[in-house]
Chain A
Amino acid sequence: MSRPTPLRDVHESLGATLTDFAGWLMPLRYGSESAEHNAVRTAAGLFDLSHMGEIFVTGPQAGQALDYALVGHLSALVPGRARYTMIVNERGGVLDDLIVYRLGDEEFMVVANASNYAKVAAELADRAKPYDAVVEDRSDRYALIAVQGPRAQEILATLTDADLPGLKYYAGLPGVVDGRQALIARTGYTGEDGFELFVANEDAVPLWHALTRAGEPYGLRPAGLSSRDTLRLEAGMPLYGNELGPDLTPFDAGLGRVVKFDKPGDFVGRSALEAVKDTPPRRRLVGLVARGRRVPRHGYPVTRDGAVVGEVTSGAPSQTLGKPIAMAYVDTGAGEGLAVDIRGSHEAMDLVELPFYRRNK
């Protein structure tokens, strides 16, 4: 049985198509996923992301513990700011990609993917043992609601006195939204401006309704995981299990910049990553745009002159480009004449650099 989020009844009353995702019963879409996608690009979308994991690391050495446990330099993070980072194994393989928020001098919140957070919490607890720090998985206590899109700030501003214009991208502050305590973070996974609101489970339903009412004049609509996936794909953002996994390093994924070798002390995966950081990977993560209308999908071979030169990791029809797009690992040097084997037929693709879509700031 899939676990419901605190918003399950709301989703059902909205007529959502529910699906199992990483053991959670999540809204796939409420109506047309294309309309949901377009709402986020042009107005705003409301997402239930309560399946994400929230792991707290607290104590005098919380920062040092995270410096050792993760590839980033988290002790250097200013309270109120956040970082995109990763946890890797001793071989440098990615166990999860994470956002870490520094809530105070001795308090960090690590947000992990639904499919991974139990594993991440266990790894963090193990790696933090030598430090004066406590690791606590509080995923069961928090709901996460995201408002994403160009109108997100206007909508949220009607419900909070928090200084939203002063809140930078990848920053988070405690605040009150519609009378409820929330961590207000300017983060997201859509390629748009937007906010993620971490609230206690019991506040999720009233907050959802308040945001729905506040967003109505701005064109806000509820948006499911299907549109979330196409939005992040257009924005060139990796998905764990597709573009990231334990057999790939951050460098393989073109995300070597998240590895901070110049931070003090050792960290899990350092020696393995130092050994590969200057080695060009055999394959690199690229974008493909289909010339035709058939959609390349996860696992399909990328070919050139009939020979396999890569593999699609994610693919979907792009609303914004009006064409099918994909991310794929492709042999370094393979640029022209690419195709994807779509169920036996080799469909021509143009290689492009990621992302497919970048918002106007």
Chain B
Amino acid sequence: MSEIPDELSYTKEHEWVAGVDEAITVTIGITAYAAEALGDVVYVQLPDAGTTVAAGDSVGEVESTKSVSEIYSPVGGEVVEVNQAVVDDPSLVNNDPYGEGWMFRVRVEGDPEDLLSAEEYTALTSGES
């Protein structure tokens, strides 16, 4: 069973979102479940800082040995920071998906929609595997 921290919010596309309740700026990555499903991540493409994104936009991609998946922004707003470390060393996504493997930060405009709680995300992923 993959780790699904309680304090985070989630999407059906297997991103996690940190800081939804207290901050204007949220941090986004992909879940441990997604990282395990992908296998060894070899390439991460992220949006440029300064880009304006809408919730649900495809903003990048994650490639593993066997597959490639899009990264969707779970929230709308301006991308204020991207994690260059994960671009340089994509294995951070596998080794520390909720920590050093974070991907980008967005200054949120409007309310985030349709995010899942840890409990809801657990239910979603236990139905898939």
Contact = CB atoms under 8 A, between A and B. Distances in A.
Interface of A: 17, 28-29, 32-34, 226, 230, 293-295, 297, 316-317, 324, 343
A316 B43 contact: no
B39 A297 contact: no
A294 B63 contact: yes
B94 interface: yes
A294 B87 CA distance: 12
B42 A295 contact: yes
A33 B68 contact: no
B109 interface: no
B40 A295 contact: no
A297 B43 contact: no
Nearest to B40: A34
Nearest to A225: B66
A28 B66 CA distance: 10
A317 B39 contact: no
B43 A230 contact: no
Contacts of B94: 32
Nearest to B129: A17
Contacts of B68: 295, 297, 343
A34 B65 contact: yes
Contact of B40 (A32, A294, A324, A343): A32
Interface in B59-118: 63, 65-66, 68, 94
B43 A29 contact: no
A32 B36 CA distance: 9
A230 B65 CA distance: 8
Given A226-B39, A343-B68, 17 more contacts: A17-B36, A17-B39, A28-B39, A32-B39, A34-B40, A34-B65, A230-B65, A293-B42, A294-B43, A295-B63, A295-B68, A297-B68, A316-B65, A317-B43, A317-B63, A317-B65, A324-B42
Contacts of A317: 42-43, 63, 65
Nearest to A29: B39
B43 A295 contact: yes
Nearest to B94: A32
Interchain residue pairs A-B with the least CB separation, the first 9: A317-B42, A34-B40, A293-B43, A33-B65, A32-B40, A295-B63, A33-B39, A33-B40, A226-B66
9 contacts: A28-B66, A32-B40, A33-B40, A34-B65, A226-B39, A230-B65, A294-B45, A295-B68, A317-B43
Nearest to A317: B42
Nearest to B90: A293
Contacts of A343: 68
Contacts of B45: 294
B119 to A, nearest CB: 25
Contacts of B65: 33-34, 226, 230, 316-317
Contacts of A295: 42-43, 63, 68
Contacts of B39: 17, 28-29, 32-33, 226
Contacts of B42: 293, 295, 317, 324
Nearest to A230: B65
